[in-house]
Structure formats: C-alpha cells, structure tokens
Chains A and B, each alone.
Chain A
Amino acid sequence: MSAVTRPVPNGASGSAPGSAPSSALLEVTDLTVEFRTPGGPVRAVDRLSYRVEAGRTLAIVGESGSGKSVSSLAVLGLLPDTARVTHGSVRLAGTDLLGLSRKEHRARCGDQVAMVFQDALAALNPVHTVGYQLTEALRGRRGMSRADARKRAVELLDLVKVPNARARVKEYPHQFSGGMRQRVMIASALAMDPDVLIADEPTTALDVTVQAQVLRLLAEIQAERQMGLVLITHDLGVVAGVADDVTVMYAGTAVEQAPVAPVYTTPAHPYTRALLRSIPSASGAGRLSVIPGRPPSPGAMPAGCPFHPRCDAVRDVCRTDVPPAAVPAEDRMSACHFAADIMAGREPAPDDKDTGGHDD
C-alpha cells in the first residue's frame, strides 16, 4: 500500500520537526488538546509536533498522563466528548484531518491510519467472533462478501501468526490468550492496509517474553509493508530495538526528540536521562534509580519548566522560565535550558548570586 518508497538510511536522515520536505505520511504540528473540567480547561497535550515517514517507526515515550495516548486519539478523531483540539494540525498524506467534517475524518480511519489499542480484552467486542471483528470494516465499508471476508480473516490471522487460523476465526476474544488476543488486535488494525499504524502500548498487558514476540511481529509487518508506525509506550527499554526516532513526552509536551541511537548514549534532557537510569539492567548491579515525585497534574502545572520539581539538575531559571526548544545537535530537539550541557554529560553551572545568566 505504501506509495512512498524513498529508501531511508537509518539514523542520519531528516526527522527534526518541521525541517524536511513534506514526504511525511503523518505530520502532527503544534497539536494542543484541552479537557473541559469543572475547574476550567485543562491542557493534556501542549504543542506536540512529530512526523512519521513511510517505513519508519517513531516511538512516543512517556509516563501515564503525559498525553501520549490522548494525542493519538486526537489524530483519529476519537477524543472523548469532554476533550477538544484547540490548536494545531494533523496532516495525513497532505490533508489536514482536523479541518475535515467528523464523517470525513472517520472515513480515513482504518483505511489510511489505524490504531492498535492497549488491553485487547477490553478493546475487542466480547460478543462478536474474532472473524467478524477482523473484517467488519471490509464488509461494512467495502461491501466484501461473507465468503471473501471469511477468507480474508484467516489470512489476517495467518499474517499475525496465530496458529490454526481457520478454526480460530470462529472463536470469541475471551477464548484467546493475552498475547494471541493482542495479535488479533493488530490484525484487525491491518485489515484495511493502513498507511500509518498507531500502536498504543500494544504490549503493556503482556508478560515479557510475549512482549518481545509481539514487538518483533509489529516491526516485521511494518518493514514488509513500509508502513509508518507510531509506537506509544512508557517503557524506554522496548524502544531501542524497534524505533528509528524517539519523542519523549512529559506533562503533555515533547521534551526531547531525536533519532533513537543518540538518545541512549547522549540524552539531551534530564528527564530522558532519568528514564534511562531507571531501566533495570541485566547485570542487576546496584540500586535501581527512580525519579522522585510524580508528574504534575495537568490542572496544576508548575511555573517554568514542567519537569523542574523532579529534575536533578534544576537551576533558578528553570523555576521561572519555560525552556525554549533547543537544538543541541543536528536532528535533535530538547526542551531544556541546559540541553547542550546535559547532552555533553556535564552538570549545568551552579546558580550565581546575580542573575541566572546561564545560557547555552
């Protein structure tokens, strides 16, 4: 299905937001989502920008509540009634989805951009057979016959390596194991050959060995079909082997965006650095480091940098000024006053008694 077949060399190609020409399948610009609450509007996603090209994988990493799932629901137009996009654009193959009517927007879902949800047990309908759910869109929207749909459902289950597919299309989701159910979820998202696939924590509910299998499967299918893949996860550990680019989100904003390899070696934001330190290592030496405190509630954002109350390199300027998006190196973005220092592995200079004049 992928029309864009530009070979993409790993690592060095243009992926910085807003720089490269519009070869991106999915381009999100300045996306801002607000929730209506009794205490006034609350910003769940704040000026998020990212782009996904054919055949590439973008990982969006963040804690729960960082806005990563909400931003992808906004892309599909599936936000709950209490939320709305107040700013920004979502361009899918050149069309701004947010400018479309609800019906037109819905018509692009499944077809051009599809989503794999977390917790497949809840995300699949318990009262319909797996076969029905895999092909209901093909039957309902493309008028596929019952016999063809049955055949297609078996193909889809084969594609995601569910054994004995022919018999299992007649079964119900509760008869599948967790890993198999997640495969069904993936197959159902692939049913209409989407150009972009958004996978929202596809492995959260699974145990570790099954997680690896499902991720590998996603990567294989993505490479084979040259899809753009957005992989949403809270686990920086699973990203390394799968993603090309990483966007780290904190409290609704992107705090660091970069190709995957340098993020691990030279993180440019203290939050990324702290996340990396909190990945358990196989050697198991030493105490596992944790990030103190909790993410701020969107209704009570701290002044200045949203991460400063938990930051181990906090300086005076962080408490008052929102950090601008710095570009500490080519293709990299970090929303930190001291991005260059952090990236170089230095601690930022201590505060002066005078003005906090520590710019990069």
Chain B
Amino acid sequence: MGRYILRRVLQAVGTLLLVMLLLHLLTTVAIQLNGNPAQAFFGDKVPTPAQVAAVEQRFNLDDPCFDQVGNPCLGPFVERLGQYAQGDFGTNLRGREVSDIVATAAPNTIRLFCVVLVTWLALGMVLGSVAARWRGSPSDHGIRLTSVLIDAFPVFVLLIVYRYVVAVPLNGWAERTFGENSWPPYWFKPSFDPEHPWATVLVPGILLGLAGSAAFIRLVRAGQLESYQGDHVRTARSKGLGERHVVVHHVVRNSSVPVVTAVGLTFTEALGGAVITEGLMNIYGMGGVLWGAVRDDDVGLVLGIVTLLAAVTVVVMIVVDIAYALLDPRIRYE
C-alpha cells in the first residue's frame, strides 16, 4: 500500500510539472505573438520605453526570449519554478500578492464545491439506488426521465432563470415570513454576500450540483444494476441474509468503486461550471478571478491560479486513486 501511494505521488508530481511546462509554453507563445503584456499595465496611457522596461522587469517579462517567436523561454520558467518553490507566487498587475488573492477567493470556491459534492452524492446515490433497486418500475422511469431533463438544461440557463425569475420573489417572501435578519432570506439572495458566505453559496451550489448529478444518477444506477446481476449477490442471498444487508454490503459497496472514480473526473469538470456559476452569482471565487485575469492579460495571476488548480486536480486524483485502492483490494497488490 505504501509503495502504491508513493508511486502515485511521484506520478502526480510529474504530471504537475508537465502541466506547468505546457502552461508556460502556451503563455510564451501568446506573448511572442501578441506582444508584451507589460503594455496592459498602463491601460490607456502611453508609457515611455523606460517605464515599460521597469514593468517588464518587475513581472519577469524582460527576458529577450519573449521577443523571439519559437523560443521556449526555459530560463524564466526555471526561475519561476524556483520562486514557486519558495512560496512566492508573484503579484497581479496591481501589485497585489497572488497568494493573498487566492486566500480570499479559494474559500468561497471550496464552499461552492462542498455544496456541489454533497448534492451530487445525495441525489446520485439516493435516486440511482432507488432506480436500480426497483428497475422497470414507475419510479425508475421517472428518475431516468428526470436525469434526461436535467441534462437538457445547461447550468447557466438554470442559474439565470433562478436569479432573475425565482430568487427575488423568494427572497421577498422569506423576508416577510421569517424576518429580515433570519437565515432564509440569505439563502435566496440573488447574489453572493461575503458576510454570509455559506448561506448565499448554498442555492447556487445546489443548482450547479443538480446540473452535474444527471450523469451521476445514471452511473450509480448502471453500476448497481450490474452488481445486482452479479453472482456474489446471489451467493449472499443464498446465505439467507436480509435484503437490506445484501444491498448495502454487496450491491452499494461493490458499485462504489466506479462512483468514486466518477467523483474525481466530474470534479475537474465542475471547475468549468464554477467559472460560470461564480460569474453569474457574483461569487468572489477562483473561477471569477481566473476569468478576470485572462481578460486583463494578467499573466502572473493566470499562471499562479492555473498552477494551483492543476495542483488541486492532481491531489484529487491521488485521493481518488487511494480511495479506489481502499475500496477494491484487487487494485492494491498489483
């Protein structure tokens, strides 16, 4: 088990370095083709060459390789890796520390993801299990139809409808019914409130989770149906065990392996959904910050945040791999 984890961690470090290199190469090509982003620092003003040079130096963009199309610019890359290793992630164009921005934005994204994950697991496990247990019944058909309907509604449609049609009346109703300083009005606030991060992230998170849960429901259903057909389930029943024991220990337990894998894969997909959700609901999170950074040509911030997201993804993958090994003993000893 120890060696298995070690191998996975080493692979993960390699993956991360590869992602960073790729990211570096892409931004380098972009700079070489589109011109130096140091210009963006000055907005509408026209800087003197000396000012541009000063800014280039400040953001590590002064290396001549940035003017030579096709040059991989490995020098600045290694330099940046060294800075990252020391915990220095640089500043954005306005001089604010990237680590400081992340420290403010990341908790909101994490809150959003927690809600999303709970929604996935709750909806997926409950509805998927019910559909598999009573296969072919009206509830099975209803659940499958629901999952198709959810798929047909993109998350941004869901959010726009919620924000502009549902949220305001609900918010008003909740204020009248429960009083202004109670929890319910915050749940239905149409935009994020940093004073009440959990309450105002709840509904957007549930909606984002709902959008992702359709595939999840189908996956759980399919996985459990396969388990129900399994010979080992028949063996468990032949021992005279109660149906509930059989379902929990032989059906749900066995079908949990693909479910955990899917959580990992869908997690990365949800990063994309988070950009949309954070944008629409004015949540100050990683997705919104990244969106702004790309729009403003803020190279340092983009690199820092994408690196961080890549690191998080890689860590999630390791966690999934370890969970996989814990859940399926056949993996462990290979």
Contacts and interface: CB of A to CB of B under 8 A. Distances in A.
Interface of A: 73, 76, 78, 106-111, 114-115, 117, 119, 122-128, 136-137, 140-141, 172, 174-175, 185, 188-189, 191-192
6 contacts: A106-B240, A108-B240, A123-B234, A124-B232, A126-B254, A136-B249
User: Interface majority SS on B: helix, strand, loop or mixed?
Assistant: helix
B111 interface: no
The residue among B232, B241, B330 with the most chain A CB atoms within 10 A of its own CB is B232
Contacts of B3: none
A110 B239 contact: yes
A177 to B, nearest CB: 15
A119 B245 CA distance: 23
A111 B241 CA distance: 10
Contact of B253 (A127, A175, A189): A127
A140 B235 contact: no
B284 to A, nearest CB: 43
A140 B241 CA distance: 7
Interface of B: 230-232, 234-243, 245, 249-250, 253-254, 257, 327-330, 333
Contact of B330 (A107, A114, A172): A172
Contact of B329 (A122, A136, A174): A174
B251 to A, nearest CB: 10
B236 A125 contact: yes
A188 B235 contact: yes
A127 B332 CA distance: 11
Given A109-B237, A172-B329, A174-B330, A140 B232 contact: no
Contacts of B243: 106
Contacts of A106: 237, 240-243
Contacts of A123: 231-232, 234-235
Contact of B238 (A114, A122, A127, A174): A114
B239 A114 contact: yes
Contacts of A188: 235, 239
B254 to A, nearest CB: 6
B240 to A, nearest CB: 4
A119 B237 contact: no
Given A127-B253, A137-B240, A140-B241, 12 more contacts: A76-B237, A109-B239, A110-B238, A110-B239, A117-B235, A122-B231, A123-B235, A126-B330, A127-B329, A128-B253, A136-B239, A192-B240
A117 B231 contact: yes
Contacts of B250: 125
B136 to A, nearest CB: 9
Contact of B240 (A110, A127, A175, A185): A110
A188 B243 CA distance: 18
Among all A-B residue pairs, the 4 with the closest Cβ atoms: A110-B240, A122-B231, A110-B239, A109-B240
Contacts of A174: 329-330
A136 B241 CA distance: 8
Given A125-B250, A136-B249, A111 B240 contact: yes
Nearest to A114: B238
Contacts of B333: 175
Contacts of A192: 239-240
Nearest to B328: A127
Nearest to B235: A123
Given A126-B329, A127-B253, A107 B240 contact: yes
Contacts of B231: 117, 119, 122-123
B240 A117 contact: no
Given A136-B249, A140-B245, A172-B329, A126 B239 contact: no
A327 B196 CA distance: 87
B239 A191 contact: yes
Contacts of B241: 106, 110, 136-137, 140-141
A108 B240 CA distance: 7
Contacts of A191: 239
B328 A141 contact: no
A221 to B, nearest CB: 18
B269 to A, nearest CB: 27
Contacts of B329: 126-127, 172, 174
Contacts of B242: 106, 140
B58 to A, nearest CB: 56
B330 A109 contact: no
A236 to B, nearest CB: 25
B254 A127 contact: yes
Contacts of B240: 106-111, 137, 141, 192
A340 B238 CA distance: 41
Contacts of A122: 230-232
Nearest to A128: B249
A63 B245 CA distance: 35
Nearest to A73: B234
A76 B243 CA distance: 14
A76 B250 CA distance: 19
B328 A126 contact: yes
B234 A126 contact: no
Contacts of A109: 237-240
The residue among B240, B243, B249 with the most chain A CB atoms within 10 A of its own CB is B240
A189 B327 CA distance: 25
A110 B305 CA distance: 59
Contacts of A115: 235, 238
B249 A78 contact: no
B234 A78 contact: yes
B108 to A, nearest CB: 37
A79 to B, nearest CB: 10
A130 to B, nearest CB: 11
Nearest to A72: B238
Contacts of B330: 126, 172, 174
Contacts of A127: 253-254, 257, 327-329
Contacts of A126: 232, 254, 328-330
Contacts of A111: 240
Contacts of B230: 122
A31 B234 CA distance: 21
Contacts of A117: 231, 234-235, 238
Nearest to A105: B240
A76 B245 CA distance: 18
